[in-house]
């Protein structure tokens, strides 16, 4: 008869402690690359970044103050690394993105570049899938980002 209160308190403690965990994993810190285009316009800096991305075979999209370069890979080990970064068994269509944000400052343009893993996750049967992204902070993507900047007239 004495074992029932001990069992009940252990079960309640388990339920209470289970609610203390976080359901969403924390994202790794971002690893931005900073560069500056001296004596140039935003349009010229954007053109140089687009040309560098095109030379590396990346898909390019632009807005007024940003250039986004996307790469998909057929490399098994790279795909495995991206799957670990995303950490979602239902994620699909995982792509690496490098986003260059352009900040005009007088006669120069500053660039803040970041890398992401972009992926699609189904929410439910009745809802549209969500596009999500996570920071990618590995050396391979960072070196690619550096190479793209070095192919332009920017100064790190």
Question: Does the structure show a pLDDT above 70 at 75?
Answer: no
- The answer to whether residue 43 is domain-embedded is yes
Question: Does the structure show a pLDDT above 90 at 102?
Answer: yes
How many structural domains does the chain have?
1
- The answer to whether residue 112 is domain-embedded is yes
Average pLDDT over every residue of 107-128: 81
The pLDDT mean for the chain works out to: 76
CATH of the domain at 50: 3.30.310.80
| Cβ–Cβ < 8 Å for 35, 156 | yes
Q: Is the full-model pTM beyond 0.85?
A: no
- The answer to whether residue 18 is domain-embedded is no
- The answer to whether residue 117 is domain-embedded is yes
Question: Does the structure show a pLDDT above 90 at 5?
Answer: no
pLDDT in tens, 9-44: 655 555 555 555 544 555 545 678 899 989 888 889
| Cβ–Cβ < 8 Å for 56, 144 | yes
Residue 37 bridge partners (DSSP): 109
- The answer to whether residue 42 is domain-embedded is yes
Residues contacting residue 152 through CB under 8 Å, at least 6 positions apart: 37, 45, 48, 49, 51, 52
- The answer to whether residue 26 is domain-embedded is no
pLDDT, position 111: 92
Average pLDDT over every residue of 124-150: 79
| Cβ–Cβ < 8 Å for 109, 103 | yes
Domain with 78 in it: 31-150
| % of the chain exceeding 70 in pLDDT | 67
- The answer to whether residue 73 is domain-embedded is yes
- The answer to whether residue 130 is domain-embedded is yes
């Amino acid at each position: 008869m004495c074992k029932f209160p001990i069992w009940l308190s252990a079960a309640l403690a388990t339920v209470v402690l289970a609610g203390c965990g976080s359901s969403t994993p924390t994202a790794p810190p971002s690893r931005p690359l900073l560069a500056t285009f001296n004596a140039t316009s935003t349009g010229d800096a954007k053109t140089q970044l687009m040309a560098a991305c095109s030379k590396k075979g990346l898909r390019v999209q632009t807005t007024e103050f940003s250039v986004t370069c996307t790469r998909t890979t057929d490399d098994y080990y790279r795909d495995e690394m991206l799957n670990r970064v995303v950490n979602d068994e239902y994620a699909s269509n995982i792509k690496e993105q490098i986003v260059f944000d352009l900040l005009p400052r007088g006669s120069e343009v500053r660039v803040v570049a970041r890398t992401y893993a972009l992926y699609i996750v189904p929410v439910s049967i009745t809802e549209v899938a969500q596009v999500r992204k996570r920071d990618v902070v590995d050396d391979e993507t960072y070196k690619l980002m550096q190479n793209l900047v070095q192919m332009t007239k920017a100064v790190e």
